[in-house]
Chain A
Amino acid sequence: MGEYNRDLSQNPCHMCMPMGGILALKGIEGAMPLLHGSQGCSTYMRRHIAEHFNEPVDVASSALNEKGTVYGGKANLKKAMDNVRRVYQPKLIGILTTCLAETIGEDIRQISSEYQAETECDCRIVTAATPGYGGTHTEGYWRMLRELLVQLTAPVEKHERINLIVPAALSPADLRQIKQTLALFGAEYTLLPDISETMDRPYEDCYGKMADGGTPLAEIAQMAGAVATLELGGPVDAKLSPGQLLQDSYGVPLYKLPIPIGLANSDQFIEAISTVLNKPVPAAICRERGLLMDAMIDAHKHSFQVRPVLFGDPEMVFALAGFCAENGMFPGVVATGGGSAGWRKAVAELLADSMNPLDVIEETDMSIVRARSEANQVNLAVGPSVGRYLEEQADIPLVRIGFPIQDRLGAQRILSVGYQGTALLLDKMVNCLLERKHKTYRSDLFQAYYQEREVARHEL
């Protein structure tokens, strides 16, 4: 725990575990999340997710009431599965617990196997323990992915596909960019999870309750035989890492990579693909790399003035820190609501070159982020919509990235990964400062240097 932390939270910058579980399931083909607990939790989370993606987000709840809480929620949960199957015909139901279900000690694994035996249903059921008090939404996200692998994979024959595991903070546009990159290499791969279509749906003549797209269940079953796993989680803890699980259980080599935002981070990603496939980097990608370098040089004098506060999911913030450092945008504050001491150390190492005052804080909240940002004279905020608080209260402009973004449109289209995405993000950050500068530099300079003096008569 960092030095600024208190035993309470004022204006949180993270969410709870089942939220992450839902986000993971939304990227699985034909999956329907079902929260075991009281109705309120799922309604709140649906609202949050729907506002970010501007997409319908259906999440079922076992709607535990007082009786269920006292005598156990088995009947509710089974009834919920019945109803979900009838209305949505899902290929998979992902059961996630909430605080309430965990506290009263519900055994969802047991209930679901009982249900499967009783109904002989052909729909897969995967369970994950995600009590809200047990961790942040990112931890819930990783846990859900791990459970999918534990419950849906078995040893299979080796094959040529790559496993690509992505964190929660990426947008559909980011995932499309990543897929394109892999396509340029001619790679065969399984992207887990894949929200690029499910959470960014076109307007269609006929609306379907279950979105198309998502990682196919058949591909998940094959992940144990892949040539390698690339996991874009940065320093995600081994006990949370789905890639670690594939390595430990099936010997699939794991490449732990940061999110490819920034030149060096993107390089790591591209080099990993090239190594695994044993193929040279396609010329088109080298050209994009050159374009990013050009953009960095164009921006460098301005970017050197940027002193950002970075906050949000630990994986995203870690990648952003590297990207900022290579551009001279040395942060004043790097913070996350989750994270760990290991995360803090990894971030601090990235920023060892900075001469500016810096706080790296894990398990924190926005009130501390604000106080430290003001103390360290931050001039730009980079993170999800909770940063509007900095914008409104501390007059620090916000560049929106990550999840959730609820006060602007187009979160699903924000592209920040790869050489191309990085250049876009860099422009956005620098332009934000330029906009301010142009707005105020005349009056700033006037106030700094102009001095009123008596104008003598004869001078007129």
Chain B
Amino acid sequence: MGVPSILENRQQSIVFKGRKKQEIRCETDSEAGCVSQRACVYCGARVVLNPVADALHLVHGPIGCASYTWDIRGSLNSGADLYRNSFSTDLKEQDIIFGGEKKLTAALDELIPQFQPPLVFVYSTCVVGVIGDDLDAVCKAASLRYGIPVKPVQSSGFIGSKSAGYRAACDVLFQLIEPPQPLEKDTKRFRLNYLGDFNLAGEAWIIRSYLERIGVTVNVVFTGDSRYEQIRGAANADLNIIQCAGSMHYLAGKLQEAYGIPCLSVSFLGLDDTAETLRAIARHFNDPSISEQAEALIAEESARVMPAILKYKSRLQGKKAAVYVGGGFKAISLIKQFREIGMEVVMIGTQTGRKEEYEKMDSLVNEGAVILDDANPAELERFMLEQGADLLVGGVKERPLAYKLGVAFVDHNHDRKHPLSGYAGAVNFAAEVYSTLGSPVWQAVQGGVRHGRV
């Protein structure tokens, strides 16, 4: 069987570290027929907004778009759980012909009195963008009728990629934020917003507990386990820290512009990043007691997890990883995290990475590593094999491919059920990598499928 060819139009989206300098092509539309792993604008918007736990999330569109996204993400919540329902206007042929505005109004009129949400998000999908429903007008009218914000999310799938959806979501979040309460003179408070954590498997709770331990208050998390009330008050923070930059940079920028809230890019993935982040926050607040408590936390937590991590590292040293994830932030963190457990990343790619993120990846990986934007299964297959990867990090769609190629696999997707953030997460990560790379199954299958006698 020949090695699958790389399509001509894809060649500029694939670069090798160290070979002749070539800029990676990224942030472009997917090539037709390429089995891109990308999702759509609506998906991006849903990722960002869905964790708002007390909001009613209504998808205006045909059933599929809602069906495929019902409760597929592992954002945890405390209390309110309206967000775990999938509401859809379930547009049918007639609605496509005559317009879906009436149906949307009817749905809002039924759902708002029934569930009494403090906030409604109405997502537009591809067809809605084409049939020209006036989402703004319908939402505005409902908002007036019920006295709650009913926010249209402009997430028609074809107007860009997932990142366009992030932006649409940030626009809506920004509209919900009210000007800050006037501050008493000289009050010292250390209060921040934590952007870009969706509380998958309780990750935002872990980070909030760290911050509280060093004397910093979390005003609101965007958007993991958040509530409308908290979002409204987001401007009452002194700092924004952004973890998933791809989705939240835009909102941080808007908050800085409007309310002068400074922002800091952070990462809580891996031991080094977590420690560095806590120190950066302490430096920002420039307060000796925070610094002290941060150092104490770093020392205590590292000491607690180091033995476990070293144990795994001894078994993982020298193995090679391939990474294909959604955004650039996660990709960059993973290169560092693998290094912490003794592994090198030999293939790295994302669905929606930005130019500066790819430059960062290039600076982190070793000579010869391949970097891909918007890769397809044929390319993943080829480069995993060519680069001799022992393991792939990816999402659900990539898992069966890795397994069929005899490559170990780590889930780094939104539906995972164990936290990967902070110190607890660093151990989980090492344990998961070991659970797949260290499994005896790979030895059992090594001989191939044929019996010795046939």
- In the docked arrangement, what's the CA distance between A105 and B110, Å? 33
Contact B399 A9 (CB under 8 A): no
Contact A45 B32 (CB under 8 A): no
**A26 in the interface, Cβ–Cβ < 8 Å?**
no
**B41 in the interface, Cβ–Cβ < 8 Å?**
yes
Q: How far is the CB of A411 from chain B (nearest CB, A)?
A: 12
Q: How far is the CB of A163 from chain B (nearest CB, A)?
A: 30
**B437 in the interface, Cβ–Cβ < 8 Å?**
no
Choose the segment among A78-86, A339-347, A417-425 that binds chain B (4+ C-beta atoms closer than 8 Å).
Answer: A78-86
Q: Given that A47-B397, A103-B131 are known contacts, is A11 also in contact with B32, CB under 8 Å in the complex?
A: no
Nearest CB to that of A101 among chain B residues? B126
List which B66-80 residues lie within 8 A (CB) of chain A.
66-71
**A288 in the interface, Cβ–Cβ < 8 Å?**
no
Q: Given that A10-B85, A38-B126, A50-B400 are known contacts, is A209 also in contact with B63, CB under 8 Å in the complex?
A: no
Contact A12 B41 (CB under 8 A): no
**A124 in the interface, Cβ–Cβ < 8 Å?**
no
Contact A12 B70 (CB under 8 A): yes
Q: Given that A12-B70, A47-B396, A99-B127 are known contacts, is A63 also in contact with B449, CB under 8 Å in the complex?
A: no
- In the docked arrangement, what's the CA distance between A80 and B103, Å? 35
Contact A8 B36 (CB under 8 A): no
- In the docked arrangement, what's the CA distance between A50 and B37, Å? 13
**A334 in the interface, Cβ–Cβ < 8 Å?**
no
Contact A43 B34 (CB under 8 A): no
Contact B381 A207 (CB under 8 A): yes
Contact A133 B106 (CB under 8 A): no
Nearest CB to that of B106 among chain A residues? A7
Contact A207 B404 (CB under 8 A): yes
Q: Given that A61-B32, A65-B158, A87-B378 are known contacts, is A51 also in contact with B37, CB under 8 Å in the complex?
A: no
Contact A41 B396 (CB under 8 A): no
Total residue contacts A-B, CB cutoff 8 A: 236
**A120 in the interface, Cβ–Cβ < 8 Å?**
no
**A372 in the interface, Cβ–Cβ < 8 Å?**
no
Q: How far is the CB of A137 from chain B (nearest CB, A)?
A: 8
Nearest CB to that of A204 among chain B residues? B449
- In the docked arrangement, what's the CA distance between A63 and B40, Å? 10
Q: Given that A9-B63, A11-B86, A207-B381 are known contacts, is A202 also in contact with B68, CB under 8 Å in the complex?
A: no
Contact with B along A32-75 (1 / 0, CB 8 A): 00100111111111111011011111111111111011000000
Choose the segment among B88-96, B176-184, B227-235 that binds chain A (4+ C-beta atoms closer than 8 Å).
Answer: B88-96
For A206, list chain B residues within 8 Å (CB): 1
List which B92-141 residues lie within 8 A (CB) of chain A.
92-93, 95-96, 103, 106-107, 110-111, 125-127, 129-131
For B64, list chain A residues within 8 Å (CB): 15-19, 41, 44-45, 99, 132
List which A295-349 residues lie within 8 A (CB) of chain B.
337
**A3 in the interface, Cβ–Cβ < 8 Å?**
no
Q: How far is the CB of B399 from chain A (nearest CB, A)?
A: 7
For A51, list chain B residues within 8 Å (CB): 396
Contact B93 A134 (CB under 8 A): yes
Contact B39 A43 (CB under 8 A): yes
Contact B38 A43 (CB under 8 A): yes
List which A159-213 residues lie within 8 A (CB) of chain B.
201-209
Contact A209 B4 (CB under 8 A): yes
Contact B130 A63 (CB under 8 A): no
Q: Given that A10-B86, A56-B401 are known contacts, is A63 also in contact with B34, CB under 8 Å in the complex?
A: yes
Contact A8 B130 (CB under 8 A): no
- In the docked arrangement, what's the CA distance between A298 and B130, Å? 59
For B111, list chain A residues within 8 Å (CB): 8
Contact A38 B158 (CB under 8 A): yes
Q: Given that A46-B397, A367-B85 are known contacts, is A14 also in contact with B67, CB under 8 Å in the complex?
A: yes
- In the docked arrangement, what's the CA distance between A53 and B399, Å? 11
Contact B35 A133 (CB under 8 A): no
Contact A60 B68 (CB under 8 A): no
Contact with A along B352-379 (1 / 0, CB 8 A): 0000000000000000000000001110
Q: Given that A8-B90, A76-B32, A367-B85 are known contacts, is A39 also in contact with B38, CB under 8 Å in the complex?
A: yes
Contact A208 B106 (CB under 8 A): no
Contact A86 B404 (CB under 8 A): no
Q: Interface size on B (CB < 8 Å)?
A: 75
Q: How far is the CB of B106 from chain A (nearest CB, A)?
A: 5
**A277 in the interface, Cβ–Cβ < 8 Å?**
no
Q: How far is the CB of A258 from chain B (nearest CB, A)?
A: 26
Nearest CB to that of A80 among chain B residues? B33
**A285 in the interface, Cβ–Cβ < 8 Å?**
no
Q: How far is the CB of B392 from chain A (nearest CB, A)?
A: 12
Name, among A34, A38, A66, A201, the residue most crowded by chain B CB atoms within 10 Å (CB to CB): A38
- In the docked arrangement, what's the CA distance between A318 and B215, Å? 61
Nearest CB to that of B404 among chain A residues? A207
- In the docked arrangement, what's the CA distance between A8 and B60, Å? 10
Contact B32 A58 (CB under 8 A): no
For A17, list chain B residues within 8 Å (CB): 64
- In-complex Cβ contact of A208 among B1, B66, B69, B399 (8 A): B1
Contact A82 B33 (CB under 8 A): yes
Q: How far is the CB of B377 from chain A (nearest CB, A)?
A: 6
Nearest CB to that of B158 among chain A residues? A38
**B43 in the interface, Cβ–Cβ < 8 Å?**
yes
Q: Given that A63-B31, A132-B62 are known contacts, is A38 also in contact with B157, CB under 8 Å in the complex?
A: yes
Q: How far is the CB of B380 from chain A (nearest CB, A)?
A: 10
Q: Given that A203-B449, A206-B1 are known contacts, is A83 also in contact with B32, CB under 8 Å in the complex?
A: yes
Contact B62 A99 (CB under 8 A): yes
**A428 in the interface, Cβ–Cβ < 8 Å?**
no
Nearest CB to that of A136 among chain B residues? B63
**A396 in the interface, Cβ–Cβ < 8 Å?**
no
- In the docked arrangement, what's the CA distance between A6 and B40, Å? 28
**B5 in the interface, Cβ–Cβ < 8 Å?**
yes
Contact A69 B5 (CB under 8 A): no
**B445 in the interface, Cβ–Cβ < 8 Å?**
yes
- In-complex Cβ contact of B397 among A57, A99, A207 (8 A): A57
Contact B85 A133 (CB under 8 A): no
**A375 in the interface, Cβ–Cβ < 8 Å?**
no
For B68, list chain A residues within 8 Å (CB): 15, 44-45, 47-48
Contact A43 B130 (CB under 8 A): no
For A76, list chain B residues within 8 Å (CB): 32
- In the docked arrangement, what's the CA distance between A198 and B116, Å? 48
- In-complex Cβ contact of A15 among B32, B35, B43, B67 (8 A): B67
For A43, list chain B residues within 8 Å (CB): 36-40, 43, 397
Contact B87 A8 (CB under 8 A): yes
- In the docked arrangement, what's the CA distance between A65 and B159, Å? 6
Contact with A along B422-454 (1 / 0, CB 8 A): 000000000000000000000001001110000
- In the docked arrangement, what's the CA distance between A189 and B136, Å? 57
For B303, list chain A residues within 8 Å (CB): none
For B32, list chain A residues within 8 Å (CB): 61-63, 76-77, 79-80, 83
For A337, list chain B residues within 8 Å (CB): 63
For A60, list chain B residues within 8 Å (CB): 33-35
Name, among B30, B70, B158, the residue most crowded by chain A CB atoms within 10 Å (CB to CB): B158
Q: Given that A86-B5, A133-B91 are known contacts, is A56 also in contact with B404, CB under 8 Å in the complex?
A: yes
For B377, list chain A residues within 8 Å (CB): 56, 58, 209
Nearest CB to that of A37 among chain B residues? B126
Closest 3 CB pairs of A and B: A40-B40, A16-B64, A80-B33
Q: Interface on B for A, CB 8 Å cutoff?
A: 1, 4-5, 7, 29-43, 61-71, 85-93, 95-96, 103, 106-107, 110-111, 125-127, 129-131, 157-161, 376-378, 381, 395-397, 399-401, 403-406, 445, 448-450
Given A61-B35, A65-B29, 4 new contacts (CB under 8 A): A43-B38, A55-B400, A65-B158, A209-B378
Q: Could you list some 19 contacts between A and B, CB below 8 A? A: A6-B110, A8-B87, A9-B87, A9-B88, A14-B67, A15-B64, A38-B157, A40-B38, A40-B40, A41-B40, A58-B377, A64-B158, A98-B126, A99-B96, A99-B127, A100-B158, A204-B404, A205-B448, A209-B4
